[in-house]
Structure 1
Amino acid sequence: MYQTIAMTSEVRERLPEVHVLAVKLKLKPLNEAPSSILFEEDWHRLHQQWKNSTKSDVANQEKLMAYQQFYRDQLGLNVKKTPPSVQNLIQRYLIKDTLERLPVIHPIVDAVNVAAVSHLIPLGVFDAQCVEGEVQLALSHGGEEFQPLGSSTLESLPPHMLILTDEMKVLSQFCYRDCEAQKITENTQEVWLLGCQVSGISAQTVEAALEEAQFQLKRIYSISNS
């Protein structure tokens, strides 16, 4: 059973058709050192599906177009420069004639990415033990500190930006830019797994992608609801 992440009244009014479905999971490795190698076959399978496609072929997928509209109309993003994460993965790695490099990051992230690409639904995962208190979607007031994933410096956010927060900090510029604070590491034992429902995408479609992510995680972890 999935819970729906809370929203401030401002966000509910602005985004009535957006819902973030989430589940909190405890993970216990089945082997001493979980490895991304297990997902190599999946990436080669997905490459066979997408190779020789054009960027336009990918961008014109119905599901991805729904997220592009959300990015463009609700987040104010240029979708050519900042496409939905799944679209970016496919266009960056999978449409080439040969799979030159696997998009591997960490076994947990890789499992979720395989599910996301398989279903064309952007999914998020982050370390639940780094979250303080309740999680919610809010609009930035301006001036909140944010350390983007992979960056060593803090940024100050402008006002009216859609953000995912806990009770102490900003967790993401929602749906496209995560924070360094709760990234998946070798010490991660508990995660939040999230999927975003937008206009044109049913809750059942998002749930199917989340189920697939859990199936992929079970290949390397014993998982239980937290």
Structure 2
Amino acid sequence: MYSVIPMSDRVQQHLNDVNVYGCLLQLSPKQDDVLHELNLTEDWHHIHEQWRGMAKSTVGEQPRIAAYQQLYTQIGLNPKKTPPSVQNLLQRFFIKDELDKIPTIHPIVDAVNVAAIQHLIPLGVFDAHAVEGKLRLAFTEGGEPFQGLGESEAAALPADVLVLADDAKVLSRFCYRDGESQKVTANTATIWLLGCQVPGIEEYDITESLDKAIQILGRAYRIERLDQAEN
């Protein structure tokens, strides 16, 4: 069972049949060398074997990827300029003849990205200690400060931007940019893992991809599911 992340009334009305599922996980490394234990090399190369030589247009036409392009259009993003995360990763790294670069960020993020690409379901992961109060999806009123990942300072968001927020702040521009405050770091021990269901994608597809992410993380981490009702 995965929790359903609450949405504001406006979001529910605007994004019909969209649900975000998630779980709160405590991670404890099994060994000091997490990278060695996780070892995603074979996973990355298997993904490359599947997608090598494919045209960018063919990637974008995959039914699951196309379903998330529709979500992007609904929330005011241009999927041609800003493709869904799975599509972007495939087109940037895995359709090339040679896998000359692997999109490594952090072992936790990398494991989740592997599961996302394997299932063509965009997944999100972030440091749960950044959360103050409860998570929710909402549209901005305008003026909310937000520091995007890699940005030097916060800037005010315009109105009507879909965000993942807690009781105190904006955590991310949903489906577009993570926030600096909730990025996964070397000190991250508790995470939120999220998957978004859109029309054309079944709830089972989301739970299967989340299960796979947890399975991959389990290679290197002992995992405890925390009481989500308390968060």
Q: Structure 2 regions of 5+ residues with no counterpart?
A: 227-231
SS at match of 1:97: coil
Provide the residue aligned with 1:80 in structure 2. Answer: 80
How far is the alpha carbon of 1:155 from its aligned partner?
Answer: 1.6
Matched residues in 2 for 1:171 and 1:199: separation? 25
Matched residues in 2 for 1:117 and 1:143: separation? 34
Matched, 1:43 2:33: no
Provide the residue aligned with 1:186 in structure 2. Answer: 186
Q: How does 1:137-156 map to 2 (within 5 A)?
A: 137-156=137-156
What is the identity percentage for the equivalent residue pairs of Structure 1 and Structure 2? 52
How far is the alpha carbon of 1:196 from its aligned partner?
Answer: 0.3
Which amino acid in structure 2 is aligned with residue 28 of structure 1?
Answer: S
TM-score normalised by structure 2 residue count: 0.96
Matched, 1:6 2:6: yes
Which amino acid in structure 2 is aligned with residue 122 of structure 1?
Answer: P
How far is the alpha carbon of 1:76 from its aligned partner?
Answer: 1.2
Matched residues in 1 for 2:133 and 2:178: separation? 18
SS at match of 1:215: helix
Matched residues in 2 for 1:67 and 1:220: separation? 30
Matched residues in 2 for 1:160 and 1:201: separation? 25
SS at match of 2:70: helix
How far is the alpha carbon of 1:151 from its aligned partner?
Answer: 1.2
SS at match of 1:66: helix
Which amino acid in structure 2 is aligned with residue 112 of structure 1?
Answer: V
Provide the residue aligned with 2:229 in structure 1. Answer: none
Matched, 1:200 2:200: yes
C-alpha deviations, 1:133-190, integer Å up to 9, x for none? 1000011000000101111121210001111101111011111211000100000000
4+ long deviations beyond 4 Å = none
Provide the residue aligned with 1:70 in structure 2. Answer: 71
Provide the residue aligned with 1:221 in structure 2. Answer: 221
How far is the alpha carbon of 1:119 from its aligned partner?
Answer: 0.1
Q: How does 1:61-140 map to 2 (within 5 A)?
A: 61-72=62-73, 74-140=74-140
How far is the alpha carbon of 1:130 from its aligned partner?
Answer: 1.3
TM-score normalised by structure 1 residue count: 0.98
Which amino acid in structure 2 is aligned with residue 160 of structure 1?
Answer: D
Q: Structure 1 regions of 5+ residues with no counterpart?
A: none
How far is the alpha carbon of 1:20 from its aligned partner?
Answer: 0.3
Which amino acid in structure 1 is aligned with residue 30 of structure 2?
Answer: L
SS at match of 2:116: helix
Deviates more, 1:9-18 or 1:90-99: 9-18
C-alpha deviations, 1:70-94, integer Å up to 9, x for none? 101x111111110000000000000
Which amino acid in structure 1 is aligned with residue 179 of structure 2?
Answer: C
SS at match of 1:132: coil
Aligned length: 225
Which amino acid in structure 1 is aligned with residue 68 of structure 2?
Answer: Y
Matched residues in 1 for 2:21 and 2:10: separation? 19
